[in-house]
C-alpha cells in the first residue's frame, strides 16, 4: 500500500457530484501534482486529505492509518494556501513556531527549529518582521516554513504560486522543489498551470470533472495521453480528422491522402478518428521514410525567441509546428507554399 | 469665497454652536460655586463625596465585567456565525439590534416580572441575584455596539483561511479563538468595549428600577438636590465618554501590526 492512499473517494455538495471515484497512491517522498481546469475538484480532493471536508464516501490512509474521519488538527498534515494565510498578529518567527508551540515543544527546541526553517527559506534576517512587511514571495516562503516546521507527514499546497508574478513564480517553484527533495517530504501540489505541473512533479494527476483522467509521469502525460481531454488540455495539439480505411492494418484516409500508421486502431472501418500531433514533431519540408507528408501554405509566423512557431494551412485545417531559431535562416514569409512531415510513429490516435 | 462655501461653513458653525454652547454654559456654571471667583470647588466637593467614590467605583467594576462577559459571548458567536452559518448573520444582527429598538424601561420591567421573588428564578430577591441580573442586562444593552464592531473586525481578516491554517498546525478551537482570532480583532473589540464602558457608566433606568446604587442614579439624585455639583458631574461624565472615544482612535492608529495586506 502506498504511503498516502486514497481509495474510491467521492464528494457531493448537495446535488452536485464534485469528486467521482478518485483513486491515488502517493509513495513516500513523492511529489505529485493535481492539474486540471477551474472547478474540476482539485481543491476539494486536497481539502478532504487535509480534513477540512468530509468525504461522502471512500477512504484516506496515511502510512497505513485511516485518516478519513480524523479532525484536521490531529492529522499532522502541512498546508500552504494560495493567499498565504499567515497570522497577521504574529511575527515571522512566531508564525513558523506556531505549530511547534501547539505541539507543546520547549522554548529552546522551538527557537532552534525556527532558525533552521528560516535558514531553509533564506530569510534569516527577517524573523522579527510582521507578515505585512514582507513581499508576496517572502510571505509564501514563510507559509511554507510554517507548514514544514512541525515535521508533517504530508505537505499539501493549493495553488501556492498563483498570486505571485511570473519571475518569482518560477524561482519559487524551483525552491519549493529543492526543499521538498531535501526533506524528502511526501507532497501534493495543486495547480492549473501545466508548465508548473510538468516541470516540478514526479507524477501528475490530470483531473477533469471530478475524475482523475490519467495519473502518470510528466513525460507519459505529455507524450502518451490516454484520453482526448488529457491530450488537449496538456500542451498544444494539432488535431486532424481522418477516416479509418482498415482498422486492423492501421490504414486511414487523411483528406485524400492515404496514410498507414502500422498499428491497430481503436475505431472500426469507415469511422472517423482524430490524429493528433504535438507542434515539435511536425517538421517543415519533405522527410522520407515513415512520414506523412502534407502540402500547405505558411499562414502565420510567431517568433518566440529560441523557438519559432509556424502555422501552416493544410487541407482541412491548420497545423502548428515548432522549429528552433537559426541565425542564418530567417523564418519563411507568409503565403509561401511548403510541405510538412509528421512521423507515423509519433501521431497520437484519439477516438473522435 | 464662493457662495457655496459660505453656506457650508455656516452650516458647520451652526452645528458646532448647537453642540458646544450648552457644554460651555454648563462648564461655566460648574465653575461658579464660590461667589465672585472662578474655581474648581464644585469638582472638589464631588470628587471628595464618599458616595461618588462608592457609586463610581461600583459602576466601573460593573462596566469591566460587562465588557469581559460581552467579549466572551460576542467574539465566538460572531466568529462561528461568519465561519459556519453565514446564512444566520442577518438573524443574529437583527437580534443584537433589538436593545436599540425596545426601550430599556420595557426590558427592565420584563426582567422584574420574570425574575421577581415569587418566580422560579428569584434573582431580584438577593444582592448577588440583582447584580447578576444587572450585569446580564448591561451585556445585552451593549450587544448592538459589541457585535457590530467585532463583526466589522472579522470582515477585515480572512477567518476561513486563518482558521484552516491554524487547524492544519494542530490548533483546537480554544487556541484558534484566543491566539489567532481575538488578537486580530482586538482593535474592534476595544472600540466596542469603550462604547460599552461609556454606556454602563451612565446607565440609569436599569439601575434605578432594580434599586442598585450605581453612578447613574447617583447623578440623577445629585441633579435633584444640588445646584453646582450636577454640572461638574455632567462635565466629568462627558470627559469620560470623550476619553473613551479618544482611546478608540488611539488604539486604532497605533496598533502594532496592520491586518491590512499590502
Ligand atoms: N463548499 C462548497 N459548497 C458547494 N459547492 C462547492 C463547495 N466547494 C466547492 N464546490 C464546487 O465544487 C466544484 C469543484 O471545486 P474545487 O474548488 O475543488 O475546484 P478546483 O479544481 O480547485 O478549481 P480552481 O482551479 O478554480 O481552484 C466547483 O464546481 C465548486 O463550485
Ligand atoms: Mg482550487
Atom of ligand 1 nearest to the CA of A46: 18
* pLDDT value, residue A16: 93
A40 within ligand 1 shell (Cβ under 6 A): yes
| Closest approach of B184 to chain A, Cα-based (Å) | 6
- Does the residue B36 lie in any domain? no
A141 and A206 housed in the same domain: yes
Number of structural domains in chain A: 2
| Residue closest by Cα to atom 7 of ligand 1 | A13
Q: What is the CA radius of gyration of chain A?
A: 25
Phi (first) and psi of residue B35, to 5 degrees: -60, 130
Pairwise CA distance, residues A163 & A165, whole Å:
7
A141 within ligand 1 shell (Cβ under 6 A): no
| Residue closest by Cα to atom 12 of ligand 1 | A18
* pLDDT value, residue A43: 95
Atom of ligand 1 nearest to the CA of A53: 1
CB contact under 8 A, A102 and B170: yes
pLDDT in tens, chain A (352 residues): 899 999 999 999 999 999 999 999 999 999 999 999 999 999 999 999 999 999 999 999 999 999 998 999 999 999 999 999 999 999 999 999 999 999 999 999 999 999 999 999 999 999 999 999 999 999 999 999 999 999 999 999 999 999 898 889 999 999 999 999 999 999 999 998 999 999 999 999 999 999 999 999 999 999 888 888 999 899 888 888 888 888 888 888 877 778 777 778 777 778 888 888 888 888 888 887 778 888 889 999 998 888 899 999 887 678 899 888 888 888 888 989 999 988 888 888 887 6
A248 and A190 housed in the same domain: no
Phi (first) and psi of residue A190, to 5 degrees: -95, 135
Nearest one of B102, B143, B132 to B210, comparing CA atoms: B132
- Closest chain B residue to A50 measured between Cα atoms? B168
> Any CB–CB contact under 8 A between A83 and chain B?
yes
A187 and A258 housed in the same domain: no
Segments forming the whole domain that contains residue A148: 4-232
| Residue closest by Cα to atom 22 of ligand 1 | A43
A146 within ligand 1 shell (Cβ under 6 A): no
User: What CATH number does the domain containing A72 carry?
Assistant: 3.40.50.300
Q: How far is the CA of A39 from the centre of ligand 2 (A)?
A: 7
Q: How far is the CA of A277 from the centre of ligand 2 (A)?
A: 30
Mean pLDDT in chain B?
A: 90
Pairwise CA distance, residues B249 & B209, whole Å:
34
Contact present, B217 and B206 (Cβ < 8 Å):
no
Q: What is the DSSP letter of B171?
A: -
A190 and A46 housed in the same domain: yes
The C-alpha cell at A256 is 485524400
Above 50 in pLDDT, residue B2? yes
Residue carrying C-alpha cell 503565403:
A335
Q: What one-character-per-residue DSSP string does B98-153 give?
A: HHHHS-HHHHHHHHHHHTSTTSSS-GGGSHHHHHHHHHHHHHHHHHHHHHHHHHHH
Give percent above pLDDT 70 in chain B.
Answer: 96
A211-216 and A238-246 as β-strands: parallel, antiparallel, unpaired? unpaired
pLDDT digits (tens, 9 = 90+) for B191-227: 899 889 989 998 999 999 999 999 999 999 988 898 8
A144 and A18 housed in the same domain: yes
A337 within ligand 1 shell (Cβ under 6 A): no
Exposed / middle / buried, residue A70 (Cβ in 10 Å: 0-12, 13-18, 19+):
middle
Map residue A63 onto helix, strand or coil.
coil
Greatest Cα pair distance, chain A, in angstroms, is 78
Q: Which of A49, A70, A76, A85 is most worth mutating to test chain B (most B CB atoms within 10 A of its CB)? A: A85
| Closest approach of B65 to chain A, Cα-based (Å) | 26
Phi (first) and psi of residue A204, to 5 degrees: -120, 135
- Does the residue B83 lie in any domain? yes
A189 and A321 housed in the same domain: no
| Residue closest by Cα to atom 18 of ligand 1 | A41
- Does the residue B9 lie in any domain? no
In sequence order, the 6+-apart residues with CB closer than 8 A to the CB of A149 are: A96, A97, A98, A99, A100, A113, A114, A117
- Which domain-ending residue is among A208, A232, A256? A232
Q: How far is the CA of A34 from the centre of ligand 1 (A)?
A: 14
pLDDT digits (tens, 9 = 90+) for A274-283: 888 888 888 8
Contact present, B98 and B105 (Cβ < 8 Å):
no
CB contact under 8 A, A73 and B167: yes
Pairwise CA distance, residues A250 & A244, whole Å:
8
Ligand nearest to the CA of A14: 1
Of B170, B259, B262, the CB nearest to A73: B170
Segments forming the whole domain that contains residue B162: 49-256
Map residue A81 onto helix, strand or coil.
coil
A90 and A41 housed in the same domain: yes
Pairwise CA distance, residues A115 & A107, whole Å:
12
Of B162, B183, B257, the CB nearest to A85: B162
Pairwise CA distance, residues A60 & A11, whole Å:
13
| Closest approach of A103 to chain B, Cα-based (Å) | 7
Alpha carbon B46 to its chain centroid, in Å, reads: 23
> Any CB–CB contact under 8 A between A163 and chain B?
no
Q: What one-character-per-residue DSSP string does B186-250 give?
A: HHHHHHHHHHHHHHHHH--HHHHHTT---HHHHHHHHHHH-SSHHHHHHHHHHHHHHHHHHHHHH
| Residue closest by Cα to atom 1 of ligand 1 | A13
User: What CATH number does the domain containing B167 carry?
Assistant: 1.10.3720.10
Q: How far is the CA of A8 from the centre of ligand 1 (A)?
A: 19
What is the signed CA dihedral for A106, A109, A110, A112, rounded to 10 degrees? 160
Average pLDDT (B42-50) is 91
- Does the residue B5 lie in any domain? no
A160 and A242 housed in the same domain: no
- Which domain-ending residue is among A232, A255, A275? A232
Pairwise CA distance, residues A98 & B167, whole Å:
11
Pairwise CA distance, residues A142 & A121, whole Å:
7
Pairwise CA distance, residues A80 & A215, whole Å:
23
Phi (first) and psi of residue A330, to 5 degrees: -65, 150
Number of structural domains in chain B: 1
Q: What is the DSSP letter of A78?
A: E
A284 and A326 housed in the same domain: yes
Q: How many Cα neighbours within 13 Å face the side chain of B171?
A: 24
> Any CB–CB contact under 8 A between A77 and chain B?
yes
Above 80 in pLDDT, residue B245? yes
Report the helix count and the strand count for chain B, using DSSP H and E: 13, 0
In sequence order, the 6+-apart residues with CB closer than 8 A to the CB of A213 are: A206, A207, A226, A227, A229, A230
* pLDDT value, residue B260: 45
A106 within ligand 1 shell (Cβ under 6 A): no
Above 50 in pLDDT, residue B262? no
pLDDT digits (tens, 9 = 90+) for B107-162: 999 999 999 888 888 888 889 999 999 999 999 999 999 999 999 999 989 999 99
A47 and A178 housed in the same domain: yes
* pLDDT value, residue B1: 55
Q: How far is the CA of A40 from the centre of ligand 1 (A)?
A: 7
A227 and A240 housed in the same domain: no
User: What CATH number does the domain containing A274 carry?
Assistant: 2.40.50.140
A242 and A217 housed in the same domain: no
Q: What per-residue string of b and e applies to A41-62 under the rule 16 or more CB within 10 Å gives b?
A: bbbbbbbbbbbbbebeebebbb
pLDDT digits (tens, 9 = 90+) for A140-185: 999 999 999 999 999 999 999 998 988 899 999 999 999 999 999 9
* pLDDT value, residue B12: 93
Q: How many Cα neighbours within 13 Å face the side chain of B80?
A: 8
The secondary element (H helix, E strand) that includes residue A93 is helix A92-102
- Which domain-ending residue is among A183, A206, A232? A232
CB contact under 8 A, A132 and B260: yes
Contacts of A75 in chain B (CB under 8 A): 168
Pairwise CA distance, residues B252 & B262, whole Å:
18
In sequence order, the 6+-apart residues with CB closer than 8 A to the CB of B179 are: B166, B171
Q: How many Cα neighbours within 13 Å face the side chain of B130?
A: 14
Pairwise CA distance, residues A349 & B184, whole Å:
57
| Residue closest by Cα to atom 2 of ligand 1 | A13
The secondary element (H helix, E strand) that includes residue A170 is helix A166-183
Of B157, B168, B172, the CB nearest to A88: B157
ipTM of the complex: 0.84
Amino acid at each position: 500500500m502506498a504511503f498516502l492512499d486514497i481509495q474510491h473517494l467521492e464528494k457531493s455538495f448537495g446535488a452536485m457530484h464534485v469528486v467521482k471515484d478518485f483513486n491515488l497512491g502517493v509513495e513516500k517522498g513523492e511529489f505529485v501534482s493535481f492539474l486540471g481546469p477551474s472547478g474540476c475538484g482539485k481543491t476539494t480532493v486536497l481539502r478532504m486529505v487535509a480534513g477540512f471536508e468530509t468525504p461522502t464516501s471512500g477512504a484516506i490512509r496515511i502510512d497505513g492509518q485511516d485518516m478519513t474521519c480524523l479532525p484536521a488538527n490531529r492529522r499532522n498534515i502541512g498546508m500552504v494556501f494560495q493567499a498565504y494565510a499567515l497570522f497577521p498578529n504574529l511575527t515571522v518567527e512566531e508564525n513558523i513556531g506556531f505549530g511547534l508551540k501547539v505541539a507543546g515543544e520547549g522554548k529552546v527546541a522551538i527557537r532552534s527549529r525556527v532558525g533552521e526553517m528560516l535558514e531553509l527559506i533564506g530569510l534569516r534576517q527577517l524573523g522579527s518582521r510582521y507578515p505585512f512587511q514582507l513581499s508576496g514571495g517572502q510571505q509564501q516562503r514563510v507559509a511554507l516554513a510554517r507548514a514544514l516546521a512541525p515535521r508533517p507527514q504530508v505537505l499539501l499546497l493549493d495553488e501556492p504560486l498563483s498570486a505571485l508574478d511570473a519571475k518569482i513564480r518560477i524561482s519559487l517553484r524551483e525552491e519549493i522543489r529543492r526543499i521538498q527533495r531535501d526533506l524528502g517530504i511526501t507532497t501534493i501540489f495543486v495547480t492549473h498551470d501545466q508548465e508548473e505541473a510538468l516541470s516540478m512533479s514526479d507524477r501528475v494527476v490530470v483531473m477533469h470533472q471530478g475524475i482523475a483522467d490519467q495519473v502518470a509521469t510528466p513525460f507519459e502525460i505529455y507524450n502518451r495521453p490516454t484520453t482526448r481531454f488529457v491530450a488537449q488540455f496538456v500542451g498544444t495539439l494539432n488535431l486532424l480528422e481522418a477516416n479509418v480505411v482498415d482498422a486492423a492494418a492501421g490504414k486511414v484516409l487523411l483528406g485524400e491522402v492515404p496514410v498507414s500508421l502500422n498499428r491497430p486502431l481503436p475505431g472500426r472501418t469507415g469511422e472517423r478518428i482524430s490524429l493528433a500531433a504535438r507542434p515539435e514533431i511536425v517538421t517543415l519540408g519533405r522527410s522520407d521514410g515513415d512520414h506523412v507528408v502534407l502540402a500547405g501554405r505558411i499562414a502565420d509566423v510567431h517568433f518566440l525567441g529560441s523557438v519559432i512557431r509556424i502555422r501552416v494551412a493544410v487541407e482541412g485545417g491548420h497545423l502548428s509546428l515548432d522549429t528552433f531559431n537559426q541565425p542564418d535562416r530567417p523564418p519563411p514569409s507568409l503565403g509561401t507554399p511548403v510541405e510538412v512531415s509528421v512521423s507515423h510513429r509519433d501521431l497520437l490516435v484519439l477516438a473522435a | 469665497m464662493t457662495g457655496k462655501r459660505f453656506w457650508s461653513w455656516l452650516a458647520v458653525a451652526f452645528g458646532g454652536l448647537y453642540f458646544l454652547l450648552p457644554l460651555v454654559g454648563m462648564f461655566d456654571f460648574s465653575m461658579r460655586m464660590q461667589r465672585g471667583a472662578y474655581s474648581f470647588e464644585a469638582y472638589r466637593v464631588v470628587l471628595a463625596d464618599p458616595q461618588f467614590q462608592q457609586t463610581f467605583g461600583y459602576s466601573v467594576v460593573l462596566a469591566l465585567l460587562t465588557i469581559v462577559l460581552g467579549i466572551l459571548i460576542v467574539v465566538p458567536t460572531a466568529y462561528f456565525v461568519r465561519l459556519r452559518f453565514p446564512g444566520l448573520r442577518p438573524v443574529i444582527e437583527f437580534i443584537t439590534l433589538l436593545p436599540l429598538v425596545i426601550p430599556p424601561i420595557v426590558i427592565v420591567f420584563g426582567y422584574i416580572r420574570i425574575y421577581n421573588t415569587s418566580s422560579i428564578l428569584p434573582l431580584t430577591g438577593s444582592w448577588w441575584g440583582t447584580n447578576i441580573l444587572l450585569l446580564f442586562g448591561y451585556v445585552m444593552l451593549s450587544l448592538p455596539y459589541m457585535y457590530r464592531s467585532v463583526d466589522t473586525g472579522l470582515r477585515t481578516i480572512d477567518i476561513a483561511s486563518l482558521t484552516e491554517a491554524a487547524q492544519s498546525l494542530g490548533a483546537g478551537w480554544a487556541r484558534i479563538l484566543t491566539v489567532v482570532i481575538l488578537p486580530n480583532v482586538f482593535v474592534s473589540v476595544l472600540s466596542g468595549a469603550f462604547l460599552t464602558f461609556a454606556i454602563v457608566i451612565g446607565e440609569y433606568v436599569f439601575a434605578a428600577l432594580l434599586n442598585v446604587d450605581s453612578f447613574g442614579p447617583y447623578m440623577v439624585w445629585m441633579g435633584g438636590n444640588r445646584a453646582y455639583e450636577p454640572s461638574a458631574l455632567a462635565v466629568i461624565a462627558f470627559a469620560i465618554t470623550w476619553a473613551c472615544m479618544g482611546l478608540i482612535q488611539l488604539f486604532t492608529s497605533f496598533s502594532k501590526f496592520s491586518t491590512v495586506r499590502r
